[in-house]
Amino acid sequence: MSGLASESSALGTLLTLPVLLPMLGAALTVVGSRSAALQRIVGIVVLVAVAAIAAVLLVVADHSGPIVEDLGGWAAPIGIALVADRLSALLLLVSTLVTLAVLVYAIDQRITDYGRGTASTTFHPMYLMLCAGVSLAYLTGDLFTLFVAFELMLTASYVLITRRTSAKRIRAGMTYVIVSLMSSLLFLTAVALVYAATGTVNFAALAGRMELIPPGLRTILGLMLLVVFGIKAAIVPLHFWLPDSYPNAPGPVAALFAGLLTKVSFYALLRTQTLLFPREGPWTLMLVLAVLTMLVGALGALAQNDLNRLLSFLLVSHIGFMLFGLAVFDAASVSGAALYAAHHITVLATLFLVSGLITRRTGTVALDRMGGLLHEAPVLAVLFAIPALTLAGIPPTAGFVAKLGLLQAGAAAGPWPAVVAGVVILASLLTLYALVRVWVRVFWGGVKPPIPDDDPNDEVAVGTARSSVPMYAATAGLIAASLAIAVFAGPLSALTGRAGADLINREPYIAAVLGTSR
């Protein structure tokens, strides 16, 4: 064992930084909690650094296979391994760019402080801890560390969603916390049962040992993990908590949650199901869940009058698109799901940020009390229109590119996946319809006066026409990222194609993790 520590390369050290840097930054922002300026600089510098590291990891992982670091020099499967393959590095990069933009927006909206320029001890540390949890969830190579990563991420999110609560927010916060806690305890139970059945929690080792246990037991373990990640990723019928809680969080926090949390859970689902429970051909149960999720989400969105709730239902609906990619279970469809996840992270965060900008101007999230913003704020109309068309998947946006991959893979996989591919198109049309309704109500029609701030002590200033450049710039930056996905669709889908092939093939991942101990 003694020789292993010296073998860890500079690249391996780099692999730990996306987790360690945000934690260090969180500590710094607690220590320096008297200076709002210091907190802001630390937050932004840390996230820029993590994004740069993620980019390096992505390039290296794509060029020369998965990067593995055995923490503390204990080789897998005994020690804890961090692994960056194409999929995790890509999602880490996209997620970090989104967290960076949302942080800039949040700082400018001043929800990070107690009042003007007064530092808060909670926002920045919790934000950075959440980022550390997200990075760890993407990079971890074992099931228990995945549990710890989720706890890190969720505990930070509990604080962010219940921070400086109003009566309305505490009700939503309670629902969110209790549902998440229950799924976490189920996760822990699943980890215990997996360990009881196989004697390891390392993904790569599990991949081999899962084949040795009875098929019935394997199915039960797979279904338990499906329920656990299904609650966290808001798969219908386990989605009900999401449209209740997210809309009550402050704009940037809702954007962060909508962009990241469900997608991290989907990543965990994708990783565990492809690596531990490989199957031949389409997965019928998952096809059914995908159809339910797409339709319930899209139809639920049509009934809403609250802009943020509408976006939350659309978020649920589009989780179904990714589930469809997983359900078809071949290299092309999994690759489509990965590309869709990257697109979905950016576009949902953008839409929630734009919703925050709209709310700031109108003073309300109720669609029937808004109107005529097209003449009042044409920039806002553009900022809403582009991500809305992207989410609906109109060519030539990123949403279309991502969906096309899914549809092609589904159509090629047999009659039932082809039918579900039809549901994907139907759900896209319903999404477009819901967003056109938002457009008509918010941007067209007679100008309605902004509603005065009913709670001036609340951190979110509403009913003000004062434009704030960094908030618009952060939103525009995310839109640019989304457009970049469309422009570089060729190289990106080639990359996710290789990532999808790796996921189905499994060998590169297993060899990279266990190979170091041989």
Partner 1 sequence: MVTINLAMAVLIAVLYAVGFFLLMQRSLMRVLIGVVVLGHGTNLLLQLVGGPPGRAPIVGSAPNDAFADPLPQALALTAVVITFALTTFLLALGYRSFVLVGHDEVQDDVEDARIARQQIQDDEP
The residue from 5, 45, 59, 185 that contacts partner 1 (CB under 8 A) is 185
Q: Please give the backbone phi and psi of residue 110, each rounded to the nearest 5 degrees, phi first.
A: 65, 30
Quote the CA–CA distance of 78 and 240 in Å, as a whole number.
Answer: 39
Dist. CA 313–CA 297, nearest whole Å: 5
What pairing do the DSSP bridges indicate for beta strands 113-115 and 118-119? antiparallel
54: left (phi over 0), alpha (psi -120 to 50) or beta: alpha
With contacts defined by CB under 8 A, how many residues of the chain interact with partner 1?
A: 39
In the list 45, 59, 178, 436, the residue contacting partner 1 (rule: CB under 8 A) is 178
Q: How far is the CB of 218 from partner 1 (least distance, A)?
A: 16
Q: Supply the minimum distance, in Å, between the C-beta of residue 223 and partner 1.
A: 17
CB-CB neighbours of 491 under 10 Å: 9
Out of 1, 170, 379, 487, point to the residue binding partner 1 (CB under 8 A): 170
Among 55, 110, 151, 416, binds partner 1 (CB under 8 A): 151
**Token pair for 87:** 């999929």
Nearer to partner 1, 210 or 290 (CB): 210
Among 35, 166, 219, 505, binds partner 1 (CB under 8 A): 166
Structure tokens at 145: 């560390």
Contact 2, 30 (CB under 8 A): no
To the nearest whole angstrom, how small is the minimum distance from the Cβ of residue 178 to partner 1? 6
Q: Which is nearer to partner 1, 165 or 517 (CB)?
A: 165
Residue 174 lies near partner 1 (rule: CB under 8 A): yes
- Out of 10, 167, 212, 465, the only residue in the binding site for partner 1 (CB under 8 A) is 167
Pick 277 or 313: Cβ nearer partner 1: 313
- 94 or 130: CB nearest partner 1: 130
Cβ at position 185, least distance to partner 1 in Å: 5
Among 303, 379, 425, 429, which residue sits at the site for partner 1 (rule: CB under 8 A)?
303
Q: Is 309 in the site for partner 1 (CB under 8 A)?
A: yes
Cis geometry, peptide bond prior to residue 396 (ω within 30 degrees of 0): yes
Q: Is 516 in the site for partner 1 (CB under 8 A)?
A: no
Rounded least distance, CB 240 to partner 1, Å: 8
| Cα–Cα dist 99/102, whole Å | 5
User: What span, in angstroms and rounded, lies between the C-alpha atoms of 262 and 231?
Assistant: 9
Take residue 329 and report the two structure tokens written for it. Answer: 């279970």
Rule CB under 8 A: choose which of 8, 273, 293, 304 binds partner 1: 304
- CB closer to partner 1 out of 174 and 425: 174
CA–CA dist 251, 169 (Å, integer) = 13
Interactions with partner 1, residue window 238-267 (CB under 8 A): 240, 243-244, 247
Rounded Cα gap, residues 429 and 289, in angstroms: 19
What are the helix and strand counts (H, E) for the chain? 22, 4
What Cα–Cα distance (Å) separates residue 225 from each residue in 1, 48, 97, 190? 33, 33, 29, 7
Torsion 102-103-109-114 (CA) sign: positive
Single out the residue of 11, 38, 188, 223 in contact with partner 1 (rule: CB under 8 A).
188
Binding characters for partner 1, 193-222, by CB under 8 A (x = yes): x-xx----x---------------------
Taking CB under 8 A as the criterion, the residue among 74, 114, 158, 416 binding partner 1 is: 158
Give the single-character DSSP code of 367.
G
Residue from 16, 162, 516, 517 that binds partner 1 (CB under 8 A)?
162
What token pair was written down for 188?
Answer: 């822990």
Residues interacting with partner 1, by CB under 8 A? 144, 148, 151, 155, 158-159, 162, 165-168, 170-171, 173-175, 177-178, 181-182, 184-185, 188-189, 191-193, 195-196, 201, 240, 243-244, 247, 303-306, 309
